[in-house]
Amino acid sequence: MSAVLEVGQLVKTYPGSRKAPAVEAVRGISFQVEAGELFGLLGPNGAGKSTTLGCITTLVRPTSGRILVDGVDVGRDPVAAKRRIAVVPQVRNLDRDLTVREVLTFHGRYFGLPAAERESRADRLLEQMQLTDRANAKPLELSGGLQQRLLIARALMHDPKVLLLDEPTIGLDPQARRLLWETLLDLHRQGLTQILTTHYMEEADRLCQRVAIIDHGLILTIDTPEALKSSLPGGHVLDLDARSESPLAPLLQGLPGVARVEAIPNGVDDGYERLRLFVVPGDGLLDRVLHAVRDARGDLRHISLQAPSLEDVYVHLTGKELRE
Amino acid sequence: MTAFMALLRRDLLVASRNAFPLLMATLTQPILVVLVFGNILPRLGLVADQFRTVMVPGLMSITMLMAGVQGVLMPLVTDLSGSREVDERLLAPLSVMAVAAEKIVAGAIHAALAGLLALPAMMLLMHQVAGVAVHPNWLALTPCVVLCGLLSASFGMTLGARVQPRFSGLLFAVILGPMMLFGCAYYPYAALNVLGPFQYVFLLNPLVFMSEAMRVAVTPNVPHMPIVLLLAGLVGCVAAFGWMGARTFQKRTIV
With an 8 Å Cβ cutoff, is A89 touching chain B? yes
**ipTM for the whole complex:** 0.85
Co-location of A265 and A212 in the same domain: no
Q: Is residue A317 part of a domain?
A: no
Backbone angles phi, psi at A198, to 5 degrees: -160, 155
Residue range of the domain that includes B21: 2-253
Per-residue pLDDT of chain A (324 residues; tens, 9 = 90+): 579 999 999 999 998 888 888 999 999 999 999 999 999 999 888 889 999 999 999 999 999 999 999 999 999 999 999 999 999 998 888 998 899 999 999 999 999 999 999 999 999 999 999 999 999 999 999 998 899 999 999 999 999 999 999 999 988 888 889 989 999 999 999 999 999 999 888 899 889 999 999 999 999 999 999 888 888 877 788 888 888 877 888 888 888 888 888 887 766 777 788 888 888 877 888 888 888 888 888 888 889 888 888 888 887 787 665 544
Instruction: Please judge whether B3 and A59 are an interchain contact, meaning their C-beta atoms are less than 8 angstroms apart.
Output: no
Of A195, A214, A229, the one marking the end of a domain is A229
From A86, A71, A80, select the one nearest A32 (Cα to Cα).
A71
**Local structure of A198: helix, strand or coil:** strand
Instruction: Please judge whether A110 and B255 are an interchain contact, meaning their C-beta atoms are less than 8 angstroms apart.
Output: no
Cβ neighbours of residue A138 under 8 Å, at least 6 residues apart?
A96, A98, A99, A100
Per-residue pLDDT of chain B (255 residues; tens, 9 = 90+): 789 999 999 999 988 898 888 888 888 888 898 888 888 888 888 888 788 888 889 999 999 999 988 888 877 887 777 778 888 999 999 999 999 999 999 999 999 999 999 888 888 887 766 667 778 888 889 999 999 999 999 999 998 888 877 887 788 889 889 999 999 988 999 888 899 889 889 999 999 999 999 999 998 888 888 889 999 999 999 999 999 999 999 998 888
Co-location of A205 and A265 in the same domain: no
Task: Find the CATH number of the domain harbouring A248.
Answer: 3.30.70.1340
Q: SS in 3 state form for B83-136? A: HCCHHHHHCCCCCHHHHHHHHHHHHHHHHHHHHHHHHHHHHHHCCCCCCCCCCC
Cα of A14 vs its chain's centroid, Å:
23
B 79-98 near A (Cβ less than 8 A): 82-95
Q: Is residue A116 part of a domain?
A: yes
Q: Is residue A312 part of a domain?
A: no
Cα atoms found within 13 Å of the Cα of residue A183, Cβ hemisphere only? 25
**Alpha carbon separation from B72 to B21, B56, B65, B78, B85 (Å, rounded):** 16, 24, 11, 11, 14
Instruction: Specify the number of domains making up chain A.
Output: 2
With an 8 Å Cβ cutoff, is A87 touching chain B? yes
Co-location of A157 and A289 in the same domain: no
How many beta-carbon contacts under 8 Å exist across A and B? 74
From B3, B14, B254, residue closest to A110, measured CB to CB: B3
From A256, A262, A255, select the one nearest A315 (Cα to Cα).
A262
CB A83 within 8 A of CB A159: no
Instruction: Please judge whether A112 and B85 are an interchain contact, meaning their C-beta atoms are less than 8 angstroms apart.
Output: no
Co-location of A37 and A163 in the same domain: yes
C-alpha dihedral (A260, A265, A270, A274), degrees to nearest 10 = -20
Which long-range contacts link A167-172 to residues 24+ away (Cβ below 8 Å)? A167/A49, A167/A50, A167/A90, A167/A196, A167/A197, A167/A198, A167/A199, A168/A88, A168/A196, A168/A198, A169/A198, A169/A200, A169/A203, A170/A90, A171/A144, A172/A144, A172/A145, A172/A148
- For residue B6, list chain A residues with Cβ-Cβ distance below 8 A: 106, 109-110, 112
Instruction: Please judge whether A59 and B255 are an interchain contact, meaning their C-beta atoms are less than 8 angstroms apart.
Output: yes
Instruction: Please judge whether B254 and A61 are an interchain contact, meaning their C-beta atoms are less than 8 angstroms apart.
Output: yes
Q: What is the pTM of this model?
A: 0.85
Co-location of A207 and A96 in the same domain: yes
How do residues B175-199 score in pLDDT, each as one tens digit? Answer: 889 999 999 988 999 888 899 889 8
Spatial separation of the C-alpha atoms in residues A173 and A192, rounded to whole Å: 25
With an 8 Å Cβ cutoff, is A149 touching chain B? no
Nearest-Cα residue of chain A relative to residue B85: A93
Å between B106 CA and nearest CA of chain A: 15
Report the DSSP beta bridge partners of residue A193.
Answer: A162
Å between B112 CA and nearest CA of chain A: 22
Å between A110 CA and nearest CA of chain B: 4
Co-location of A147 and A238 in the same domain: no
Co-location of A159 and A254 in the same domain: no
Å between B30 CA and nearest CA of chain A: 28
Instruction: Specify the number of domains making up chain B.
Output: 1
Of A202, A229, A256, the one marking the end of a domain is A229
CB B155 within 8 A of CB B104: no
Residue range of the domain that includes A52: 3-229
